[in-house]
Chains A and B, each alone.
Chain A
Amino acid sequence: MTELSKTGAAVGEPTDSGKAPEAFLEVRDLKVHFPTDDGLVKSVDGLSFSLEKGKTLAIVGESGSGKSVTSQAIMGLHRLGTRGKNVRMSGEIWLDGKELVSAAPDEVRKLRGREMAMIFQDPLSAMHPYYKVGDQIVEAYRVHHAVSKKVARTRAIEMLDRVGIPEPAKRVDGYPHEFSGGMRQRAMIAMALVNNPELLIADEPTTALDVTVQAQILDLIRDLQKEFGSAVIMITHDLGVVAEIADDVLVMYGGRCVERGPAGEVFEQPQHPYTWGLLGSMPRIDRETSERLIPVKGSPPSLINVPSGCAFHPRCPYADIPKGNVTRTVRPELEQVSTGHWSACHLSAEDRQRIWTEEIAPKL
């Protein structure tokens, strides 16, 4: 907690935990831990951010960085099912003035699908194979609206039409497996938006799709966001997608935020060595091919034994620059680099500036 509040203070966010924030969505010091036979898995370990309506926040990270767990924590999905009995959650999640971590499960359920909705990576497995697409959308609508099936069906057709599915009145009676990947994801989006949610969480929505379809879907999400003015959290590992759609970026590593800021800033002046690593690892289609990619050495950390100090230090080429043993012993807190741009790194601002401009940027 103390550590948390410190973070909060450092981040310049309201330290008065317990009070409703101004922002539409605000997450404060969120921790999601799962006890397992092997030890405590700290999937998310002290994460704070906020998001306004009409804006898009991209959460970037590799598998096991805690990005998907974060999104499911906001939706309250962890507490359900067999795993839900064990999960340990702390911190606060404020959605439109309501605190969700401490709220009664049924209160959160009523918000789910109505105020906040989610689309998933693989639309084929995310839709029930035995029910018609239309019926699944109807179900989503009728959970929150006391209307007849007929009315809900009309609404479903309307939504299918809105997301660009041809012949919606016919496709509404199709089964998920009869849709192509792109169409399925469109149907998923229709299902998520059927109740006009104010927060849409998209968990790798295009990862399973071909590039051409990905372009269609990103376009659609952007248009719909404009139309409905909802807040969007885009979970992804693809920096290209981030650049395409995000206003703000949050880079996660080992269950914590290592860098956060406006998308332009994060791409122009990335502050954290891990962000540099991500940028260096990506082959880019828009630039001359440099001879070699610059990968991050090693593998992502175990969430049971997160490295001491800075979780990234075992993979960081610059871990020895700060004096003493600080990178191995002290966990860096987020510090503001420029307005709205935060980074958690022990390197001094000068060192970061120098490394970025002299060593990293030229090679990208």
Chain B
Amino acid sequence: MSETKKTDTVAEAAVPKQASAPEERDVLLKVEGLTKHFPIKKGILQRQVGAVKAVDGLDFEVRKGETLGVVGESGCGKSTMGRVITRLQDPTGGKITFEGQDITRLNTGQMRPLRRDIQMIFQDPYGSLNPRHTIGSIVSAPFRLQGVEPEGGVKKEVQRLLALVGLSPEHYNRYPHEFSGGQRQRIGIARALALKPKLVVADEPVSALDVSIQAQVVNLMDDLQQELGLTYVIIAHDLSVVRHVSDRIAVMYLGKIVELADRTSLYESPMHPYTKALMSAVPVPDPKRRGQKSERILLRGDVPSPIAPPSGCRFHTRCWKATQICKTTEPQLVELRPGQRVACHHPENFADQAPQDTVLLTAAKEASELVPDAVLSEGAAGKEPASDKATAAEETAAAEAAASEAVASEEKPASEKEATASEDKQAASTEETASEEEAVSSESASEEEASGEGAAEDEEASEGEEASEDEVASEESAASGVKTGPGAKVSAGKAVPAADAPAEEPATATGAAADAPAEGSGDTEAVAEETGREAEATGKASGADSQESTGK
């Protein structure tokens, strides 16, 4: 939670702080438009009928001396990426440049000299060492393969390496099975470092190890980096580990990088909703935080198949902020803030990149049901302090107004869309009144709203929902709805349930309050949320919005 708060506060204020990312250092490895597809063949003639798009267009660079962390869920292509940039597998397309040399199409022979400079550490300390070879021969293999004769002889050098990674030189003649998992991983590291590589790609280097050993290996890698000036690309699914070791972090989803930023920016103010969800899911060893249960953003379902990834933004099927544009247009990875590149139309903690598009997709509405109010509201709360309190006040006022209207509308059974919308407003308003303070916490709320709306909309308009929404949304957004404070969104979210059963609304209202703006359309709300993050804008806007919404 604290994290989220931090994020919010930082969002606006902290930008400059982050900006000092390790910029102008020399680029060691540059990757442009990298793709790796695994063909799928079928039928009598074994025609290619499709491809697993494991890696589907990556652009990034690794600077000398830094650690680039790559995170993502299983199946996001991060391991394939690791094998392709080390040329253990051939890329399908794109360009890999290492120290200015294009290595994309080099054959095995041409790659050989480069193998000294690029090394890999693997996950499984049991499978990656040949059980029939002694430690000495495993660690000295790179010398033999490269025909290198180190100063003082191979044996001496190997023993030096063993000492370097914290093993005893006497281990030279032992076999892998005599070592524990942590020690084997050290052996793997010693082998990787034998030829003094410039770049080390480590694929889940510590995930097979026990916690206490994991820390030893993490520290070791850290020390070696400082001692030898290594550059790391560390691929891992454990966000805590990645955060600890990385200078910059790339978040991958379905073969693409959705966010690439320096560590602080990423963890304190993630911009991509996926990054945010991913981080919120990491359990934190602090039972006190359990009380504020469900600050956690639950993503619905599973990662879609990389064979037929979703159109547009690949995350749109699970994103609670997805709108029409997300489905149709793929967001580019652009540098929204110095050192923070994001591929999202509606980023968190930043200005909306497609403010005109406000109608939430059905999927987004469903997704938002799983986004806890707490998260949303917390985020909101965090921001709010930053933003003007005045705004909040305005919002509340507006909300109240809306509420009154809502009440009026309540009387009519909500069968039509409008009715629903009104209900939503009511709910929002009621909630707001109940807990104005909470209302402030609009941001998170907004997400909820979205869901709420989703529900309402679902009822109304599974059919023409988008179209209708678009209209409404556009109007609203243009006017007030969009700009509503985060609170507004919140209310909307809760409103949804309310819409279904108006009587319950007050109860539902929980923290969310502010939603006066909660006009019927969830889209608007969503937009509002985003906007809301920018405190000032939000404040004013929310005032206006709420009023407008009321008007409607």
Q: State yes or no: do A and B touch (Cβ within 8 Å).
A: yes
* A 213-256 to B, binary, CB cutoff 8 A, 1 in contact else 0: 11110110000000000000000011111111110000000000
Across-interface contacts of B282 in A (CB, < 8 A): 211, 240, 285
Alpha-carbon gap, A62 to B213, bound state (A): 10
Q: Does the CB pair B215–A281 fall under 8 Å?
A: yes
Q: Does the CB pair A216–B298 fall under 8 Å?
A: yes
Alpha-carbon gap, A125 to B279, bound state (A): 28
Alpha-carbon gap, A292 to B302, bound state (A): 35
Across-interface contacts of A282 in B (CB, < 8 A): 211, 215, 240, 285
Residues A284 and B287 in contact in the complex (CB < 8 Å), given A212-B73, A215-B298, A295-B213 = no
Check: A22 CB closer than 8 A to any chain B CB. no
Contact partner, B285, options A63, A210, A240, A277, Cβ 8 Å: A240
Check: B281 CB closer than 8 A to any chain A CB. yes
Check: B12 CB closer than 8 A to any chain A CB. no
Check: B288 CB closer than 8 A to any chain A CB. yes
What interface size band does chain A fall in?
35 or more
Contact partner, B219, options A211, A264, A293, Cβ 8 Å: A293
Q: Does the CB pair A210–B73 fall under 8 Å?
A: yes
Alpha-carbon gap, A215 to B73, bound state (A): 13
Question: Total A-B residue pairs with C-beta atoms closer than 8 Å?
Answer: 139
Across-interface contacts of B244 in A (CB, < 8 A): 283, 289, 293
Of residues 253 through 279 on chain B, the ones whose CB sits less than 8 Å from some CB of chain A are: 263, 267, 277-279
Alpha-carbon gap, A114 to B302, bound state (A): 31
Q: Does the CB pair A281–B299 fall under 8 Å?
A: no
Contact partner, A210, options B237, B267, B296, Cβ 8 Å: B237
Residues A243 and B74 in contact in the complex (CB < 8 Å), given A63-B210, A212-B299, A281-B214 = no
Q: Does the CB pair A277–B283 fall under 8 Å?
A: no
Check: B241 CB closer than 8 A to any chain A CB. yes
Across-interface contacts of B267 in A (CB, < 8 A): 285
Of residues 156 through 207 on chain B, the ones whose CB sits less than 8 Å from some CB of chain A are: 180, 182-183
Across-interface contacts of B277 in A (CB, < 8 A): 212
Residues A237 and B296 in contact in the complex (CB < 8 Å), given A212-B281, A285-B279 = no
Contact partner, A292, options B183, B219, B279, B288, Cβ 8 Å: B219
Across-interface contacts of A294 in B (CB, < 8 A): 215
Q: Which residue of A lies closest to B72 (CB)?
A: A210
If over half of B's interface residues share one DSSP class (helix, strand or loop), that class is named, otherwise mixed; here it is helix
Across-interface contacts of B183 in A (CB, < 8 A): 299
Q: Name the distance in Å between A14's Cβ and chain B's nearest Cβ.
A: 28
Check: A300 CB closer than 8 A to any chain B CB. yes
Alpha-carbon gap, A240 to B216, bound state (A): 19
Residues A211 and B239 in contact in the complex (CB < 8 Å), given A243-B283, A283-B218 = yes
Q: Name the distance in Å between B71's Cβ and chain A's nearest Cβ.
A: 9
Across-interface contacts of B240 in A (CB, < 8 A): 240, 282-285
Residues A246 and B299 in contact in the complex (CB < 8 Å), given A281-B211, A283-B243 = no
Q: Does the CB pair B215–A218 fall under 8 Å?
A: no
Q: Does the CB pair A62–B283 fall under 8 Å?
A: no
Q: Name the distance in Å between B223's Cβ and chain A's nearest Cβ.
A: 9
Across-interface contacts of A201 in B (CB, < 8 A): none
Residues A211 and B281 in contact in the complex (CB < 8 Å), given A180-B302, A263-B287, A267-B287 = yes
Alpha-carbon gap, A263 to B180, bound state (A): 31
Q: Does the CB pair A241–B283 fall under 8 Å?
A: yes
Residues A183 and B302 in contact in the complex (CB < 8 Å), given A210-B73, A212-B277 = yes
If over half of A's interface residues share one DSSP class (helix, strand or loop), that class is named, otherwise mixed; here it is helix
Q: Name the distance in Å between A355's Cβ and chain B's nearest Cβ.
A: 18
Q: Does the CB pair A237–B211 fall under 8 Å?
A: yes
* B 404-430 to A, binary, CB cutoff 8 A, 1 in contact else 0: 000000000000000000000000000
Q: Does the CB pair B211–A286 fall under 8 Å?
A: no
Q: Does the CB pair B302–A243 fall under 8 Å?
A: no
Across-interface contacts of B213 in A (CB, < 8 A): 62, 295, 299
Contact partner, B283, options A180, A214, A237, A292, Cβ 8 Å: A214
Residues A243 and B290 in contact in the complex (CB < 8 Å), given A215-B296, A286-B3 = yes
Residue of A210, A238, A280 ringed by the most chain B CB atoms within 10 A: A210
Contact partner, A264, options B73, B241, B283, B287, Cβ 8 Å: B287
Q: Name the distance in Å between A216's Cβ and chain B's nearest Cβ.
A: 6
Residues A242 and B285 in contact in the complex (CB < 8 Å), given A181-B74, A286-B3 = yes
Across-interface contacts of A293 in B (CB, < 8 A): 215, 218-219, 244
Residue of A166, A218, A286 ringed by the most chain B CB atoms within 10 A: A286
Across-interface contacts of A159 in B (CB, < 8 A): none
Alpha-carbon gap, A278 to B263, bound state (A): 24
Q: Does the CB pair B302–A300 fall under 8 Å?
A: no
Check: A182 CB closer than 8 A to any chain B CB. yes
Q: Name the distance in Å between B225's Cβ and chain A's nearest Cβ.
A: 12
Q: Name the distance in Å between A284's Cβ and chain B's nearest Cβ.
A: 6
Q: Does the CB pair A289–B214 fall under 8 Å?
A: no
Q: Does the CB pair B74–A210 fall under 8 Å?
A: yes
Across-interface contacts of A215 in B (CB, < 8 A): 280-281, 283, 296, 298
Alpha-carbon gap, A292 to B222, bound state (A): 8
Check: A279 CB closer than 8 A to any chain B CB. yes
Q: Name the distance in Å between A34's Cβ and chain B's nearest Cβ.
A: 20
* A 287-311 to B, binary, CB cutoff 8 A, 1 in contact else 0: 0010011111101100000000000
Across-interface contacts of B239 in A (CB, < 8 A): 211, 285
Across-interface contacts of A216 in B (CB, < 8 A): 298-299
Q: Name the distance in Å between B176's Cβ and chain A's nearest Cβ.
A: 15
Across-interface contacts of B279 in A (CB, < 8 A): 285
Alpha-carbon gap, A308 to B280, bound state (A): 43
Q: Does the CB pair B278–A243 fall under 8 Å?
A: no
Alpha-carbon gap, A285 to B69, bound state (A): 14
Alpha-carbon gap, A210 to B239, bound state (A): 11
Alpha-carbon gap, A39 to B125, bound state (A): 26
Q: Does the CB pair A278–B287 fall under 8 Å?
A: no
Q: Does the CB pair B216–A295 fall under 8 Å?
A: yes
Across-interface contacts of A286 in B (CB, < 8 A): 2-3, 284, 286, 289
Q: Name the distance in Å between B443's Cβ and chain A's nearest Cβ.
A: 19
Contact partner, A299, options B182, B215, B280, B299, Cβ 8 Å: B182
* A 251-282 to B, binary, CB cutoff 8 A, 1 in contact else 0: 00000000000011001000000000111111
Q: Which residue of B lies closest to A236 (CB)?
A: B283
Contact partner, A295, options B215, B283, B285, Cβ 8 Å: B215
Alpha-carbon gap, A236 to B215, bound state (A): 17
Q: Name the distance in Å between B68's Cβ and chain A's nearest Cβ.
A: 16
Check: B110 CB closer than 8 A to any chain A CB. no
Q: Does the CB pair B212–A295 fall under 8 Å?
A: yes
Q: Name the distance in Å between A301's Cβ and chain B's nearest Cβ.
A: 11
Q: Does the CB pair B243–A243 fall under 8 Å?
A: no
Alpha-carbon gap, A86 to B288, bound state (A): 44
Across-interface contacts of A285 in B (CB, < 8 A): 3, 239-240, 243, 267, 279, 282, 284
Q: Does the CB pair A218–B283 fall under 8 Å?
A: yes
Residues A284 and B210 in contact in the complex (CB < 8 Å), given A183-B302, A210-B73, A244-B290 = no
Residues A264 and B215 in contact in the complex (CB < 8 Å), given A243-B283, A292-B222 = no
Residue of A181, A267, A285, A295 ringed by the most chain B CB atoms within 10 A: A285
Residue of A214, A267, A282, A300 ringed by the most chain B CB atoms within 10 A: A282
Q: Which residue of B lies closest to A64 (CB)?
A: B210
Residues A211 and B215 in contact in the complex (CB < 8 Å), given A267-B286, A299-B182 = no
Q: Does the CB pair A277–B3 fall under 8 Å?
A: no
Across-interface contacts of A263 in B (CB, < 8 A): 287
Across-interface contacts of A219 in B (CB, < 8 A): 294, 296, 298
Across-interface contacts of B212 in A (CB, < 8 A): 62, 277-278, 281, 295-296, 300
Residues A295 and B284 in contact in the complex (CB < 8 Å), given A210-B74, A244-B290 = no
Residues A62 and B3 in contact in the complex (CB < 8 Å), given A283-B244, A285-B243 = no
Q: Does the CB pair A62–B210 fall under 8 Å?
A: yes
Q: Which residue of B lies closest to A300 (CB)?
A: B210
Q: Does the CB pair B243–A289 fall under 8 Å?
A: yes
- Given A244-B284, A285-B240, 6 further pairs, Cβ under 8 A: A211-B278, A215-B283, A240-B240, A244-B283, A282-B215, A285-B267
Enumerate 11 A-B pairs (CB-CB under 8 Å) in ascending A order: A210-B237, A213-B73, A237-B211, A278-B212, A281-B211, A283-B215, A283-B241, A289-B243, A293-B244, A295-B216, A296-B212
